[in-house]
Amino acid sequence: MDAEAAVLAAEQTFFSSLLAPDVATLDPLLADDFQIIDVMRGGLTSKAELLGAIGAGLVQFREIEPAEARVRVYGDAAVVTGRTRMRMSVGPDEVEVRSRYTHVYVRQSETWRLASAQGTQVV
């Protein structure tokens, strides 16, 4: 599998693991120093915080529709840009958000891992 296809497969795993929710699959996909800048408030969340919130059911993804994913590979790094429409609950609140996102992957021990993610809400 070429690098672009491998990164797109990792993207698919990321989104499906959020929906499942499947922390056991998500954990090794995320780099140890993973950070996400969330689409709702621009807050910075670590890997441990994200996995904890998903595992505890504090954040539940109901639907994720990714589109327009574009992969650019630079050696052992790759940048993916795309769009999503998501429905989720954060605590007691149900939200629907459309966003553009940037994901940065790094190849570590022949495995593509998500190192950084940022979503920007589209209104």
Whole-number Å distance between alpha carbons of 114 and 107: 9
Which H helix or E strand runs over 51?
A: helix 47-55
Distance separating the N- and C-terminal Cα atoms of the chain: 37
In the DSSP assignment, the letter for residue 1 is: -
pTM of the predicted model, to two decimals?
Answer: 0.95
State the chain's maximal CA–CA distance in angstroms: 42
Task: Give the pLDDT confidence of 11-70 residue by residue, as tens digits.
Answer: 999 999 999 999 999 999 999 999 999 888 889 999 999 999 999 999 999 999 999 999
Sketch the domain layout of the chain as residue ranges: 3-121
CATH number (3.10.20.30, 3.90.1150.10, 3.10.450.50, 2.102.10.10) of 3-121 reads 3.10.450.50
Task: Give the pLDDT confidence of 73-98 residue by residue, as tens digits.
Answer: 999 999 999 999 999 999 899 999 99
Q: Is 9 left (phi over 0), alpha (psi -120 to 50) or beta?
A: alpha
